[in-house]
Amino acid sequence: MKTELLIIGAGAAGMAAALSAWEAGCRDILLVDRRDRPGGILPQCLHKGFGLACFGTELTGPSYAEQLAQRLKITNVRLALGTEVLAIDADKTALLSDRYGLTELHFDRLILASGCREKSIGALPVAGTRPAGIFTAGQAQEMMNLRGQDPGNEILILGSGDLGLIMARQLVLAGKHVIAVVEKEAHYGGLARNFRRCIEPYRIPLLVRTTVTEIHGHGRISGVTLRRLDSGEEEQISCDTLITALGLIPERELVRKLGDPDWLFLAGNCRRVHDLVDSAVAEAERIGKEATR
Ligand SMILES: Cc1cc2nc3c(=O)[nH]c(=O)nc-3n(C[C@H](O)[C@H](O)[C@H](O)COP(=O)(O)OP(=O)(O)OC[C@H]3O[C@@H](n4cnc5c(N)ncnc54)[C@H](O)[C@@H]3O)c2cc1C
């Protein structure tokens, strides 16, 4: 199998790169994603706040993804869902896996738009066991918004980046008790607009200069030890769920050993983490054109 332009990841960045490459004249584009639907992270983000720059209005994540997917439908970009890229070789071949098996694909140029992954609790020096009930914010969001699952009731959130703030509000609106959002820095980490919208109106406590040093519980988490970083004081609090929002890491594992060949382009959150989808899309549009030239 062969294609002129292979794009890995049909999130906002991958779709935008495909559209701009198509508009720039590339007529042989294959866009693949391991998930069964396009949009990447967007379909699980049910809140509004996407697309002010690109569409002039605040959309939800799913409607933003739908706008891009509709535009793709009127092109001949081939979209292969349920298809994971397992490896990329320096001789411009990709190993694809789907439900029919493995395929080797040759390409001329590659845009990697594989998004980012969340740091997990393993990234911190936290004592204790790892019982059930510890989720990253993205996992909790996917559980609630895509699978209708219930993460827990008495919830502590560790990390005050945008994901932590957005999940705090969603959990309160779902009737959960958010005990606090805990942040090691002296200030919350997310966008001011997310703090104003998600934390202040619901009076969710924000504990700054504080961290979790130990996890308690067997089977299911039953509590954590909190440490105040300035005074060194420790306190044990009960909770049945710990949600971590510790930051995002660009996902570039597939191309880590390839160096910087002239046929490889990076777009979206795998290039750098974008707070706003519009900025990931604007960058990807530029990369799509560049890869076509
Ligand atoms: C919880 C949350 C809330 C947000 N809220 C807002 C907001 O209110 N407003 C706003 O403007 N922005 C928001 N953002 C930011 C915005 O959603 C992202 O920056 C943007 O959607 C990232 O797009 P992407 O295409 O780079 O990555 P992703 O959406 O992560 O897409 C990457 C895709 O690559 C696929 N993939 C990865 N590796 C492979 C492989 N090996 N083979 C095949 N497929 C692969 C994945 O399955 C995935 O579908 C939010 C982000 C999050 C996480």
Query: Is the predicted pLDDT of residue 123 greater than 90, yes or no?
Result: no
For 150, the token pair is 């219930």
Q: Is the CB of 121 under 6 A from ligand 1?
A: no
Which residue, 100, 111, 103, 129, is CA-closest to 218? 129
Instruction: Give me ligand 1 centre to Cα 114, in Å.
Output: 8
Answer with the one of 246, 267, 284 that is the final residue of a domain: 246
Are 151 and 238 contained in the same domain? Answer: yes
Q: What's the pLDDT score for residue 289?
A: 98
Are 144 and 163 contained in the same domain? Answer: yes
Are 12 and 94 contained in the same domain? Answer: yes
Residue 148: pLDDT band by 50, 70, 90 thresholds?
very high
Q: Which amino acid is at 268?
A: G
Query: Is the predicted pLDDT of residue 182 greater than 90, yes or no?
Result: yes
Q: Is the CB of 278 under 6 A from ligand 1?
A: yes
Placement of tokens 């899309």 in the chain: 281
Are 156 and 195 contained in the same domain? Answer: yes
Closest-lying ligand 1 atom to the alpha carbon of residue 270: 26
CA 56, CA 216: separation in Å to the nearest integer?
47
Query: Is the predicted pLDDT of residue 121 greater than 90, yes or no?
Result: no
Contacts of 271 (CB under 8 A, 6+ apart): 250, 283, 287
Q: What's the pLDDT score for residue 192?
A: 95
CA 263, CA 111: separation in Å to the nearest integer?
8
Query: Is the predicted pLDDT of residue 129 greater than 90, yes or no?
Result: no
pTM, entire model = 0.92
Q: What's the pLDDT score for residue 103?
A: 97
pLDDT digit string, tens, across residues 50-61: 998 888 899 999
The number of domains in the chain is 2
Are 145 and 288 contained in the same domain? Answer: no
pLDDT digit string, tens, across residues 244-286: 999 999 999 999 999 999 999 999 999 999 989 999 999 999 9
CA 84, CA 182: separation in Å to the nearest integer?
36
Q: What is the CATH number of the domain that holds 39?
A: 3.50.50.60
Are 124 and 268 contained in the same domain? Answer: no
Judged by average pLDDT, the poorest of 93-102, 123-132, 171-180 is 123-132
Are 253 and 111 contained in the same domain? Answer: yes
The residue whose CB lies within 8 Å of the most ligand 1 atoms, and thus the one to mutate among 20, 41, 274, is 41
CA of residue 204 relative to chain centroid, distance: 24
Are 11 and 110 contained in the same domain? Answer: yes
Which residue's C-alpha comes closest to atom 11 of ligand 1?
276
Are 31 and 52 contained in the same domain? Answer: yes
Are 146 and 58 contained in the same domain? Answer: no
Are 238 and 261 contained in the same domain? Answer: no
Q: What's the pLDDT score for residue 38?
A: 97
Segment 37-65 mean pLDDT: 93
Instruction: Give me ligand 1 centre to Cα 160, in Å.
Output: 19
Percent of the residues in the chain that have a pLDDT greater than 90, as a whole number = 92
Answer with the one of 246, 267, 283 that is the final residue of a domain: 246
Which residue's C-alpha comes closest to atom 18 of ligand 1?
277
Q: What's the pLDDT score for residue 118?
A: 94
- The residue range of the domain holding 200 is 120-246
Residue 125: pLDDT band by 50, 70, 90 thresholds?
confident
Are 147 and 231 contained in the same domain? Answer: yes
Residue 127: pLDDT band by 50, 70, 90 thresholds?
confident
Residue 22: pLDDT band by 50, 70, 90 thresholds?
very high
Contacts of 290 (CB under 8 A, 6+ apart): 265
Instruction: Give me ligand 1 centre to Cα 190, in Å.
Output: 17
Residue 153: pLDDT band by 50, 70, 90 thresholds?
very high
